[in-house]
């Protein structure tokens, strides 16, 4: 009987928070991710994903950059879970990172606007001194409930990032030709591209800003 060649012994080590897990075909290098409340919400990746589904399956996409999607999972060595994720996103260009169950759930709650008590973040919690009249407007969104939570977090993230970068203006510019919404910051007199958002969020973003500004 021929001895098995080293090349046939395909086993990769996956770094985990509590040790090393060995699994066939698992990524050779895996970053450990810790929850950060300043993480930008990946709206484009969350559009077709349900809040309850992600909490049940314990994974969540973090970002899409340079043609590659970053996904946080509890067990990067789980081949079935990776196949399911790749089928959902219709790509194998995915970087898998590992995080604890608690951190994954925190990311999901943060992305979908759920606070520590498990309740949706209301306008009074997300803004300073929001009144009851604003809450009524918030209950009549132009998008789904899940998307409404995303819009709330998105607008807050835009304002926070503009403040951090010392921007004087935030430009929210619908592009009819490319069917997207471009966001730019004016910094030192120059408009600098920040991010591109789905075209369907153009009106909800404006509505959210009006609510926060006490405008009709």
Q: CATH number, domain at 144?
A: 3.30.450.90
Total of domains in the chain: 2
Q: Of 62, 87, 111, which marks where a domain is finished? A: 111
Token pair listed for 44: 């484009």
- Residue 118 resides in a domain: no
For 155-164, give one letter per residue: b (16+ CB within 10 A) or e: bbebeebbee
CA distance 151 to 41: 9
pLDDT digits (tens, 9 = 90+) for 50-108: 888 899 999 999 999 888 999 999 998 889 899 999 988 999 999 999 999 999 999 99
Predicted TM-score (pTM) above 0.75? no
The share of the chain scoring above pLDDT 90, in percent, equals: 28
Task: Give CA–CA dist 156/146, Å, rounded.
Answer: 16
**Residue of 36, 3, 163, 16 whose CA lies nearest to 96:** 16
Range of the domain at 150: 123-212
Residue 86 lies in a domain: yes
Of 90, 111, 132, the domain-final residue: 111
Q: Would you say residue 6 lies in a domain?
A: no
> What are the DSSP E strand ranges found in the chain?
12-16, 19-23, 59-65, 68-73, 94-98, 169-175, 180-187, 190-198
Q: pLDDT-derived band of residue 207, with 50, 70 and 90 as boundaries?
A: confident
Residue at 20 is within a domain:
yes
Q: DSSP letter for 164, please.
A: H
Q: Is the pLDDT higher at 98 or at 5?
A: 98
pLDDT digits (tens, 9 = 90+) for 134-182: 333 333 344 555 567 788 888 888 999 999 999 999 988 888 877 888 8
């Amino acid at each position: 009987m021929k001895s098995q060649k080293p090349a046939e012994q395909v086993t990769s080590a996956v770094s985990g928070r509590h040790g090393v897990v060995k699994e066939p075909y698992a990524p050779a290098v895996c970053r450990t991710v810790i929850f950060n409340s300043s993480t930008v919400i990946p709206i484009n990746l969350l559009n077709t994903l349900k809040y309850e589904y992600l909490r049940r399956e314990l994974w969540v996409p973090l970002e899409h950059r340079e043609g590659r999607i970053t996904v946080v999972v509890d067990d990067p060595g789980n081949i079935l879970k990776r196949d399911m994720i790749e089928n959902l996103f219709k790509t194998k260009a995915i970087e898998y990172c590992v995080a604890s169950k608690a951190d994954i759930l925190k990311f999901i709650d943060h992305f979908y606007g759920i606070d520590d008590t498990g309740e949706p973040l209301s306008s009074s919690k997300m803004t300073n001194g929001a009144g009851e009249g604003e809450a009524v407007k918030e209950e009549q969104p132009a998008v789904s409930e899940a998307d409404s939570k995303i819009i709330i977090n998105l607008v807050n993230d835009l304002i926070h990032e503009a403040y951090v970068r010392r921007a004087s203006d935030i430009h929210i510019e619908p592009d009819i030709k490319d069917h997207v919404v471009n966001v730019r910051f004016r910094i030192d007199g120059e408009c600098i591209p920040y991010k591109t958002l789905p075209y369907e969020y153009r009106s909800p973003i404006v509505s959210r800003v009006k609510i926060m500004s006490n405008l009709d």
